[in-house]
Amino acid sequence: MADVRPESMERITTPELAKAFIDEQVEAVKKQVGDKKVLLALSGGVDSSVVAALLIKAIGKNLVCVHVNHGLLRKGEPEQVIEVFKNQMDANLIYIDATDRFLDKLAGVAEPEKKRKIIGEEFIRVFEEEARKLQDVDFLAQGTIYPDILESGPVKAHHNVGGLPEDIHFEGLVEPIKLLFKDEVRVIGRELGLPTGMVERQPFPGPGLGVRCTGAITRDRLEALRESDAILREEFAKAGLEGKVWQYFTIVPDYKSVGVKNGLRSFEWPCIIRAVNTKDAMTATIEEIPYSLLAKIVSRITSEVPGINRVLYDLTPKPTGTIEWE
Ligand code: XMP
């Protein structure tokens, strides 16, 4: 498949068009790989999940999915990947909990770019090790989508965790959705039967919660981040904001302040809420969240999450802020 989307290619907006695309790609993949094995790093994000579901349809157990948990995923994510792909779709899924390995490597590292580099490199190492153990995989599948091809420049370079294992030779790449835009990938995902929560998932950086646990990551602060993020997502979903706000998450910085909890002095971290809207992530505006919802989230986070005694709402658009804090 060429890397340029033909002008004549119809935008996939309906289940019928999605079905036709899926049938076409299933045939193309079968033709490309025959009875050989294909390896896929399955993060659980929209793109890799759609590729996984498509390839399971095409080649079944000859697709080997590797889900690496780097310990920086959101609450419930590895469980969802296992439930959807292993339990429901009966995929050939290898789950690797590499949490300790990543967190040990990251211990004491405060510099944001260094953290990203460690996470990215370690991810490739873990993936390579698995690939080497498997030996007889000939193809590598990737969830490349059209904007990745259009935007692959210096800005995006640091954004991609993973990428190609460096010293393993594959006969070829399988990239069935590389000419699609994100909205089309979601239509395909729905048609393939993936759960709505997975198909509509908000963008999540490759280095995951690592960029939101600012400074040197510690396990207790990472846990506070994961729990506060889960509460935020739950309350946004209940308020019908899921799918309406482009990206929302919490940050737990490496800083403590004095507060009062249960009548006693506390010395704990703040939690910062960020909820932004954007078209292309180059600029972003702040979502106006109803005050009552914010108050509820503040109350839940400060009472349910150990280690947090304050909650702040970041009102800064991009520019001057970036969307993430690191
Ligand atoms: P910033 O913080 O640069 O983020 O305004 C713009 C968008 O990119 C996402 N982002 C990343 N995505 N790997 C990714 O895959 C990364 O390292 C990374 N850093 C930022 C961010 O979540 C936002 O949607």
| Ranges of each domain in the chain | 15-199, 212-313
pLDDT tens per residue across all 326 residues of the chain? 788 999 999 999 999 999 999 999 999 999 999 999 999 999 999 999 999 999 999 999 999 999 999 999 999 999 999 999 999 999 999 999 999 999 999 999 999 999 999 999 999 999 999 999 998 999 999 999 999 998 775 443 344 445 566 667 899 999 999 999 999 999 999 999 999 999 999 999 999 999 999 999 999 999 999 999 999 999 999 999 988 999 999 999 999 999 999 999 999 999 999 999 999 899 999 999 999 999 999 999 999 999 999 999 999 999 999 999 99
Which residue among 119, 159, 251, 278 has the greatest number of ligand 1 atoms within 8 angstroms of its CB, and so is best to mutate?
159
Pairing of strands 264-277, 257-261: antiparallel
Task: Answer for the pair 185, 47: CB distance below 8 angstroms, yes or no.
Answer: yes
**In which residue are the tokens 């800064």 written?**
316
CATH annotation of 15-199: 3.40.50.620
Q: Is residue 314 within 6 Å of ligand 1 at its C-beta? A: no
| pTM of this structure | 0.93
Which residue's alpha carbon is at the smallest distance from atom 22 of ligand 1?
205
Q: Is residue 210 within 6 Å of ligand 1 at its C-beta? A: no
Task: Answer for the pair 150, 51: CB distance below 8 angstroms, yes or no.
Answer: no
Which residue's alpha carbon is at the smallest distance from atom 13 of ligand 1?
159
Residue type, 171: E
What class is the 212-313 domain? alpha beta
Spell out the residues 6+ positions from residue 220 whose beta carbon is closer than 8 angstroms to its own: 306, 307
- Distance from residue 281's CA to the centre of ligand 1 (Å): 8
Which residue's alpha carbon is at the smallest distance from atom 10 of ligand 1?
205
How far, in Å, CA of 59 to CA of 306, rounded?
46
